[in-house]
Amino acid sequence: MMVQKKSAYNVAIVGATGAVGQTFLDILSERNFPINELKLLASSRSAGKKMEYNGKEYTIEELTHNSFEGVDIALFSAGASRSKEFAPSAVKAGAIVVDNSSAFRMDKDVPLVVPEVNPEDVQKNNGIIANPNCTTIIMLVPLKPLHDYGKIKRVVVSSYQSASGAGAAATMELINQAKAWSKGEKLEVSAFAHQLLFNVIPHIDAFTENGYTKEEMKMFNETRKMLHSDEIKVSATCVRVPVLTAHSESVFIETEKKITPEKARELLQNAPGVKLYDNPDEKVYPMPLLASGQDLCYVGRIREDIAYENGLSFFVSGDQLRKGAATNAVQIAELLIK
């Protein structure tokens, strides 16, 4: 399914009051997405509240199965259970759903899309397109041009994921821990399994039977699906760090065809979605502070891996609320209207 060509489109945002939902509004405005009518949908407890978009005030409506009449594109950011319940109603009403949750990512009939990686898969949708996990997106944007040139056989990645990736309450917990520490007060812990301030936690999402977490297995499964290869081996260790916004990742790849650091820089220099930021001698390398608020994935510390033949290592930072979620979803919507 594709969206019928129009000068402007009716758009619904499901989960409009959440962090990603609010970022949807920022991205739609920044990218001048052609909106005719905008519907902001959320739970009953948020219904009736007001939000602003491009200087106009909108009233949040309660999400129901009848919310999608006349909607062309529905951007979902309300969690997997809500997506499973309400996305089929949106499709039935004639909308195409771009879903930010994990609900449909591994469904064989639902394309999983990063526009810089596999834009052609958008056309295979039956009304629902899945937005990948944020850590996978940030890794795959620089991996794609390298894979096209040298064919990746193996990926080993360790993530450094910010507090905001766990939601607004988690972000405030880190901020409040810093305030409490500065006053000599007790640090409260509830959003994470352990204190995050002055600490790192090698635990994101639930552990599975093989010892990897669900977050780590998302990187394994989603990479294979989007690069259309069941041969790529992906081993991930996902870690929460005391950073407010933007995820970073240390990535090692082994390729069939050798990619020198010089060739990698050449491939990444003009790659879509990438900002090559690689001059360690001048202390120029990716950091979450740089990537925060940006849509590009900063890539640097590119070097030949000395442990493996045909090995390459690099570091990448990206804003998980923007490119890792809202921006990627809006880019998918842009593909639909093209």
Relative to beta strand 297-304, strand 311-318 is antiparallel
Instruction: State how far the Cα of 79 lies from the Cα of 318, in Å rounded to an integer.
Output: 22
d(CA 113, CA 131): 6
Give the 3-state secondary structure of residue 300.
strand
Burial class (CB in 10 A: 0-12, 13-18, 19+), 155: buried
In the annotation, is 247 catalytic? yes
List the catalytic residue out of 147, 238, 247, 297: 247
238 catalytic per annotation: no
Phi, psi of 271 (to 5 degrees): -70, 140
DSSP letters, 116-146, are: TT-GGGGGG-SSEEEPPPHHHHHHHHHHHHH
| SS3 of residue 26 by DSSP | helix
Q: Which is the catalytic residue, given 134, 147, 238, 297?
A: 134
Rounded distance, CA 83 to CA 89, Å?
10
Name beta bridge partners: 156: 235, 252
The residues that are catalytic are 134, 247
